[in-house]
Structure formats: C-alpha cells, structure tokens
Amino acid sequence: MNPYGKNAKIYVAGHSGLFGSALVRSLRQRGHENILTVSHQDLDLTDGAKTESFFLEERPDYVYVAAAKVGGIQANKAYMADFAMENLLITCNVLKAAHKARVKKLLYLGSSCIYPREAAQPVKEDYLLTGLPEPTNEGYALAKIAGVRLCDYYRRQYGDNFISCIPANVYGENDNFDENTNHVIPSLIQRFHRAKVNQLPYVEIWGTGGAEREFMHIDDAAAACIFLMEKFDGAGTINIGMGQTTSIRALAQAICRIVGYQGEIRYDTSKPDGMPRRLLDSSKITALGWGPSIQLEEGLKREYEWYLENVERSK
C-alpha cells in the first residue's frame, strides 16, 4: 500500500542536511515531484509563529521531520543547552503546526543515542526511558526523546497519524565535514585525507578505539523511512539498523585503507569513548519486509569520493 500518490505534497523539514537531502533524492527517484522544501534562511523552525503560518499556508499532505541541530561528542558536551533547546523548539513547533494543518501523516526521525547508556544489546524499542542516556549527549537525547513520545501523544489524544523511527548512526554523501560539529566518519575521512596530503606521521583519535557503533549508509536509511511512511502506522517507535556493529578501531583502519594514508594511528585514551556499544534490534522493520543493501566498505568509498569531489575541490 502506498498512502500517497505521485502528486501528493510532501514536506521534508531539513532538506539540505545529510538525512533530508537523501530523503529528497530517494523520493524523486520514486517519481515524487511535488516535494516542498524551504531553506533555514526563509523559515526558522525554532520560530513557532512562522512555522505554523508556513504549514497553514502550504498545507503539506505528508511530512518527514529530518531537521535537527546535530554534532559529535565534543560539540554535544560543549553546547548541551543549545542542542537541547534548539531541537526541542524544532520538534514542538513542527508537530504542533502539522497537527493544526491536519497533515495526513508525519514521520519523525529520532536518534539511537536516546536509548539508555547501559541498555542490553541489541537495543529494543521498549528499552526507551528504562535508564539514563549517555551523559555526553544528554541534552540532544532528551530533546529527541520528547519528539518520539510527542508523536505517540498526538496519536493518542487527537488521532494524528504521527510515527517515529530510530536510525543507527548514518553517514554518506552530503555529510557534515565541519570540524567543530561533525560525527566520527566524516571526521576520520577528513583527518586521514589531510594527513596523507600533508605527509603527517600519525593521526590521533579520541578514546581507546574499542567503542562499537552501528553505521548505516544514508541512502539505506532514507529508503527505510519511505518504506515506513508507506507501510507502518503503529504507535511506538521503530528501529532502523544494519544488524551489526563496527569498532572505532576497525572503522579507522578501513578509512585509512580507503584514503590511502600510510602513517600511524594513535589513540588518546584520556578522551572519552562515549557509549561502549550500541546495536539496534531492527527485527520489527525486518518483519515488515525491509532490509539494508549497502555494506560499510562500499558506503565509505562512496563518501570519500563525494568528499573529494565536493569538499576538497571547492577549496
């Protein structure tokens, strides 16, 4: 069942980011042309009045909420109030406006960091709020938890068809290479590439390298979101993952090999690892008939090629 026809108006909030741009790309590949996008300069989603006016004027049929303030461990620790407040405002304003505009269906993107730090692995959806999140990104996590639960509250109180999903760590084309806010994969790609170009003897990485994460290519994640918009109408969130983890050490070695860096990898064990291991239980979406198709090595090669073409060449 496809809930929307090719002419349905689909609003992708956060269309210029990693996740939003992949959603737009995937929707267009599926023949959807009536895709509504608006830049941050033209619409600040932290402004409730402007967000509501936009929804009431445009009346989108379907909404993907990919807009968020995101960053790695360092940024989350340093700017916890900013991460919490901005994401709370975006979440509350968009969901409230979507309710008032009576959108047919909304998909809210959460984050795997919202689960308790000490949750049993793999992490099931019902582990949410059974413990405290990782302290280094608590502000961001609490804001995203609020969004996931608000979808259920609007469904329960008003009957709105708001659903949510929790993707594993995503990476890929159009990733964030800002040194102050990027995540581990773009950070390592950029650092190994620059070390190769400048013939540096070593690259230093935060932590022991032992932390394990589940990495999913953004095109797989976008395809899963579109699949859920078409197939899933239930309460409660749903995980999207690869079903396996990779250590930061193994990830660094893979990126080093793909980039062609010949120097040493050093680990600064005085710096935090973050959550020791995070693997999502994706059995719910698997049971619905969806699975990923892009393996990590292939995905990393694609991101490095994109980086060379779009980041390095633009200098």
The residues, ordered by sequence, that sit 6+ positions from 228 with a Cβ below 8 Å of its Cβ are 107, 163, 165, 238, 240, 285, 288, 290
Is residue 112 annotated as involved in ligand binding? yes
Query: 10 Å Cβ neighbour count for 132?
Result: 11
Is residue 314 annotated as involved in ligand binding? no
Is residue 48 annotated as involved in ligand binding? no
Contact 122, 280 (CB under 8 A): yes
Is residue 76 annotated as involved in ligand binding? no
Q: What is the DSSP string of 284-305?
A: HHHHHT------HHHHHHHHHH
80 burial class (0-12, 13-18, 19+ CB within 10 angstroms)?
Answer: middle
Q: Give backbone dihedrals phi and psi of 231, rounded to 5 degrees, phi first.
A: -115, -20
Is residue 99 annotated as involved in ligand binding? no
Is residue 18 annotated as involved in ligand binding? yes
Is residue 15 annotated as involved in ligand binding? yes
Q: Which of 64, 79, 140, 261 is catalytic?
A: 140
Is residue 159 annotated as involved in ligand binding? no
10 burial class (0-12, 13-18, 19+ CB within 10 angstroms)?
Answer: buried
Tokens matching residue 293: 């198709």
Q: Look at residues 162, 167, 285 and name the one whose alpha carbon lies nearest to residue 233.
A: 162
Is residue 164 annotated as involved in ligand binding? no
Q: Is the dihedral of CA 211, 75, 72, 92 positive or negative?
A: positive
Is residue 150 annotated as involved in ligand binding? no
Our answer to whether residue 11 is catalytic in this structure is no
Is residue 155 annotated as involved in ligand binding? no
Q: Residues annotated in the binding site for substrate, as ranges?
A: 191, 206, 213, 273
Q: Residues annotated in the binding site for NADP(+), as ranges?
A: 14-20, 109-112, 144, 167-170, 183
Q: Which residues are catalytic?
A: 140
Q: Residues annotated in the binding site, as ranges?
A: 14-20, 109-112, 144, 167-170, 183, 191, 206, 213, 273
